[in-house]
Structure 1
């Protein structure tokens, strides 16, 4: 509610303006001009703060604005005050004689805007404080009797407003001081997510060869209730950069490993099992270089999707996006050995940009002993002698609602960690040649179209040519695709419906004939997220994998889950 409890009476302002005319040095302006411009020009003479309402005055930032605005020592510091302004000499006189004119933090004065009684009181209070300082310093002769008389009349007229304003500002300063004393850091903010996940899977007994699918005797796993916690400490030193330090802990299992068909296609997007211990999950620094270039420097878990644009805004997040791991983005382009290295994003203009990154493998998992990583000085480790992924992506946005991307990636994976499809496809898709050194040339295209406010259409297509680098010279081809539909604000604001349908990575050809996927799997995901409150969203969904592990002898695998997301 804006403070307009008492309206301006014209007489006090006319009297005040006439009485203060010598101090304001109005010069040749006539009395009629002064009276006619009173409601417009009082702001030019005395305003020091923005229009104050009850809600805004309760915010610590308002006190900070009041503090930072008391810094004008010359009228020339006010960018929107010109010597041709009719009240320029009055402002100049008040600044030079009493120093009680203040601008906004952006060095503007905004003298043409409307003024409330509380704003006038704030300006009057500033002048009273300055005059009190002059008198206390034994310089009372520097203040004219006319000025003191005018100020006395104004003080009497605005006694109530001055008392209220001073009381509110004092209270806000006390709250601000308490917040500053108790705050964690002046440069770092904590934002965090917590996921509670209920999940269950079911399907018939798996078949196929032992290499494709180890036999299972049960058609249903145990229902599970698990969690994941992520703490993001986001630090900025300049306001344009970001140092992200993320800690996480969780016990969400890979459900695919427990299904009847033993397929990673059933793996959830947010599956994380650290045995309940917190680990350092991400550590990277993003900073601008000039106006068009942004750089990323990663020490741990900086991934291609952090640097590049997946063009899948509604489903890319493991917190708020797809329920399935495959549904987040193209695994052949945005997944691979990564973690430490450099990324660059150059924006030529709003329509065209290019992304490049070189990332070497890191492993912060508390469940394994990290070996052959970017931090390893021996073996298949270091930045250039171990697992790595280099990406280049071109992004074209002919309009704000439509984007397309073209990408190329080159990867190398030592035999101990080889996983070409990054646990989203079949066994052959992960290791086309077995546990041997493998390199891949990867190609992909992505698109996203915001058809309307309530409907978004997106998808991708990806291809990889894998080469055996040790123990032989075989070649294999992998292929995958996906389309997705998102329905923002479906049935209620903040809710969202989603449909994802696609083919997980499949080995379509291989020099080792026995390691070709015999048929084709399809993944269908249906989800609906409804926002319980600003900080709580519940998303039930179901995932169906037809012909799991690209084997039509395998019955359909189903995954049902209810994800509850807390954000703060």
Structure 2
């Protein structure tokens, strides 16, 4: 036999050669090469590329334990001898031997070396004639035949050991690993900028109001994330995330812009002119790289997430979120095919990542308990300003500690009837304190939805929101998956009194309804392995009903305007703001992805008086 031949013909697989008929269907850790009687994984064809196998082999004591080997097989007696006499043969956990696959010479040499070591142990421990002369002759012949491969195997093992020692000596931590992501993005409002929208005059005016949208230029920016992941027990994880970026989400910052201070894209002016405490333009269409927390957007590096997760038991995992936590950090993310924690390898938009019912940020804790592999329950609590004990004041609503400021609770039941289908039922309750009837806090943090969805009732002292959601993911085939979500949000606002400047008028509480829903189609490996095509169609949060508080809904004077007897709903006659997104992620290497795509927003800020907006993006992502 030529030693350059890649595979052994069946003629060589006699006696001890049958040892390796089934050992070679995957990769193996290094210890698989030198242990014959421990639970032995399969042998890697490339000894330089050592990875874990998903189906490790286990020791068996009788050939009858192999359900795919019968007494009529030509190798049955040889297998029986190797198992029962020498104990140097293993099988898979499902009781199979898998003896039909081809075998490389290096794999055979590795298995032979393992059996030699086992026989040496038996010889050292035994005083009887346990090994026959025929066995020794067979071993001697095989040793001569594979002398070169055995020498090469030993050299490669020594090389791997030296490389491992070098890595251990030069790593910056024995418990911490660094995971990084860098995004470069070119984006532009292709249509919908440089226009003027016309709205009916309100608040004491007559006629119409013309609101211009500034002409905007293409922008190019970046975002970098550095995650330090530390494990102390092998089952826990301390996560510390640092972020830097210069691409702010649409319509940010709110208020005057200082010279040199960046701001996000602007489109879709609000019909109420930002009077509700929001800003003049819609916050819809935020992309994942716009998510930089509370950082100023000038490439300042800052801490954006701190959390620690660990198992309370074999079925329960707890997550403590010290800063920048979100509900999706502990809830199973089973309802999105490409949710990558607002990273650069999935959808372009934040809306396409997951349902907005999870969109709350703060400090707190959450847990998930698995009743079985198919059923789990999750619950959590987050407070946006947990570190500040001050009671919220009209001039400073960003306080309140754990329970007196802005907070959110969430519970979810997750069901997975099969390996390719899962769904969940979600309930959330949140409180959004405001600083007064004019300055308020957005319900969705201004990151998703229309201005009216974030500030649905004016005036308002405080908003309490009950949210009900359902989501599902169905992986129909390896090449196609579909997921969708629906959430209904009921908003109730408290009563209050207008400041003296506005007449010192008391007003009643009120209510509003907010909807959001979407469907995503995923096409993995479209055009080649690792590529991904995606389509998202839905509506980011928008108000379907927003009642004007008393006494203003019955035509009384409100800020100098006579609204009329029928003006009871702020959004009567508004339209659905559709979000339609298409993208294609091209995998250049395992660490480099380029994603072109388009986002089409119809009726931004939920009014057809605004022109549709088309956003074009080219995103380049590096993982390290």
- TM-score, normalised to structure 1, is 0.73
259, 263, 275: which one aligns with 2:266: 259
- The aligned counterpart of 1:119 is 110
**Higher helix proportion:** 1
Structure 1 residues 103, 237: closer, same or farther in 2, change over 3 A? farther
214, 217, 232: which one aligns with 2:227: 232
1:383 aligns with 2:408: no
481, 487, 495: which one aligns with 2:532: 495
- By how many angstroms is 1:535 displaced? 2.6
- By how many angstroms is 1:436 displaced? 3.8
- By how many angstroms is 1:296 displaced? 1.5
- The aligned counterpart of 2:272 is none
Deviations 1:101-120 (A, max 9, x none): 899999x9x99999965135
Structure 1 residues 128, 94: closer, same or farther in 2, change over 3 A? closer
- By how many angstroms is 1:386 displaced? 2.2
Q: Distance in 1 between matches of 2:592 and 2:322?
A: 32
Secondary structure of the equivalent of 2:290? coil
1:426 aligns with 2:438: no
- By how many angstroms is 1:9 displaced? 8.5
The answer as to whether partners of 2:319 and 2:330 remain within 8 angstroms in 1 is yes
The answer as to whether partners of 1:433 and 1:468 remain within 8 angstroms in 2 is no
Secondary structure of the equivalent of 2:288? coil
- The aligned counterpart of 2:510 is 475
Q: Distance in 1 between matches of 2:471 and 2:7?
A: 58
Q: Distance in 2 between matches of 1:464 and 1:498?
A: 29
Structure 1 residues 542, 166: closer, same or farther in 2, change over 3 A? closer
Secondary structure of the equivalent of 1:403? strand
Deviations 1:124-151 (A, max 9, x none): 764799899x9xxxxxxxxx9x99x978
289, 292, 296: which one aligns with 2:319: 296
The answer as to whether partners of 2:364 and 2:382 remain within 8 angstroms in 1 is yes
- The aligned counterpart of 2:394 is none
- By how many angstroms is 1:250 displaced? 0.6
- The aligned counterpart of 1:392 is 411
Structure 1 residues 553, 84: closer, same or farther in 2, change over 3 A? closer
- The aligned counterpart of 1:271 is 290
Secondary structure of the equivalent of 2:284? helix
Secondary structure of the equivalent of 2:161? helix
- TM-score, normalised to structure 2, is 0.67
Q: CA RMSD in A?
A: 4.6
Q: Distance in 1 between matches of 2:170 and 2:594?
A: 33
Unmatched tracts of structure 2, length 5 or more? 22-33, 66-76, 125-130, 253-264, 270-280, 392-398, 498-506, 559-568
Deviates more, 1:232-241 or 1:295-304: 232-241
- By how many angstroms is 1:508 displaced? 1.0
Q: Distance in 2 between matches of 1:210 and 1:558?
A: 29
- The aligned counterpart of 2:615 is 559
Q: Distance in 2 between matches of 1:51 and 1:428?
A: 60
Q: Distance in 2 between matches of 1:178 and 1:102?
A: 33
Structure 1 residues 58, 463: closer, same or farther in 2, change over 3 A? same
519, 523, 530: which one aligns with 2:585: 530
Q: Distance in 2 between matches of 1:158 and 1:310?
A: 51
Size of the alignment, in residue pairs?
506
1:143-292 alignment runs, 5 A limit: 158-201=146-189, 202-203=192-193, 204-208=195-199, 216-257=211-252, 258-260=265-267, 261=269, 262-272=281-291, 274=295, 275-292=298-315
Secondary structure of the equivalent of 1:180? helix
Secondary structure of the equivalent of 1:375? coil
Unmatched tracts of structure 1, length 5 or more? 14-34, 63-68, 70-77, 96-100, 135-143, 362-372
